[in-house]
Amino acid sequence: MNMKIKGTGSALPPKVLTNKDLEAMVETSDEWIRERTGIESRHISEKDTVASLATKACQKALENANQTAESVELIIVATCSPEMLLPCCACQVQKNLDARKAVCFDVNAACSGFLFGLQTAFAYLSAGFYRNALIVGSEVLSKIVDWEDRGTCILFGDGAGAVYVEACEETHFLSFVQGSDGSKGEVLSCNDRSLFGAQNLDRFVRMDGREVYKFATRQVPLCMEEALKKANLSVADVDFFVLHQANLRILEAISKRIGAEMKLFPYNVNRVGNMSSAAIPVLLDELNQKGVLLEGMKLVLSGFGAGLTYGACVVCW
Ligand code: UT7
Q: Is the CB of 145 under 6 A from ligand 1?
A: no
Report the pLDDT value the prediction gives residue 253, as an integer from 0 to 100: 97
Task: Output the CA 151–ligand 1 centroid distance in Å.
Answer: 5
Report the pLDDT value the prediction gives residue 192, as an integer from 0 to 100: 74
Residues marked active site are found at 111, 244, 274
Q: Is the CB of 247 under 6 A from ligand 1?
A: yes
Contacts of 192-199 with C-beta under 8 Å, sequence gap 24+, read: 192/144, 195/85
- The residue ranges of every structural domain in the chain are 2-168, 173-316
Task: Output the CA 41–ligand 1 centroid distance in Å.
Answer: 17
Task: Output the CA 210–ligand 1 centroid distance in Å.
Answer: 7
Give pLDDT tens digits for 57-106: 999 999 999 999 999 999 999 999 999 989 999 999 999 999 999 999 99
**Domain 173-316 in CATH: superfamily?**
Thiolase/Chalcone synthase (3.40.47.10)
Q: How confident is the model at residue 191 (pLDDT cuts 50, 70, 90)?
A: confident
Residue 153 has pLDDT above 70, yes or no: yes
Q: How confident is the model at residue 202 (pLDDT cuts 50, 70, 90)?
A: confident
Tell the residue nearest (CA) to atom 43 of ligand 1: 151
Report the pLDDT value the prediction gives residue 11, as an integer from 0 to 100: 98
Q: Is the CB of 36 under 6 A from ligand 1?
A: yes
Cα dihedral value 140, 184, 268, 76, nearest 10: -50
Q: Do domains 2-168 and 173-316 have the same CATH topology?
A: yes
Give pLDDT tens digits for 241-260: 999 999 999 999 999 999 99
Q: Is the CB of 271 under 6 A from ligand 1?
A: no
Q: Is the CB of 189 under 6 A from ligand 1?
A: no
Task: Output the CA 209–ligand 1 centroid distance in Å.
Answer: 6
Task: Output the CA 35–ligand 1 centroid distance in Å.
Answer: 11
Report the pLDDT value the prediction gives residue 193, as an integer from 0 to 100: 65
Whether the model clears a pTM of 0.85, i.e. scores above it, the answer is yes
Query: Which atom number of ligand 1 is nearest to the Cα of residue 22?
Result: 48
For the segment 127-137, the average pLDDT, to the nearest whole number, is 98
For the segment 255-271, the average pLDDT, to the nearest whole number, is 98
Q: Is the CB of 246 under 6 A from ligand 1?
A: yes
Q: Is the CB of 154 under 6 A from ligand 1?
A: yes
What fold, for 2-168? Peroxisomal Thiolase; Chain A, domain 1 (3.40.47)
Give pLDDT tens digits for 211-234: 999 999 999 999 999 999 999 999
Among 114, 181, 210, the mutation site with the greatest number of ligand 1 atoms within 8 A of its Cβ is 210
For the segment 116-121, the average pLDDT, to the nearest whole number, is 98
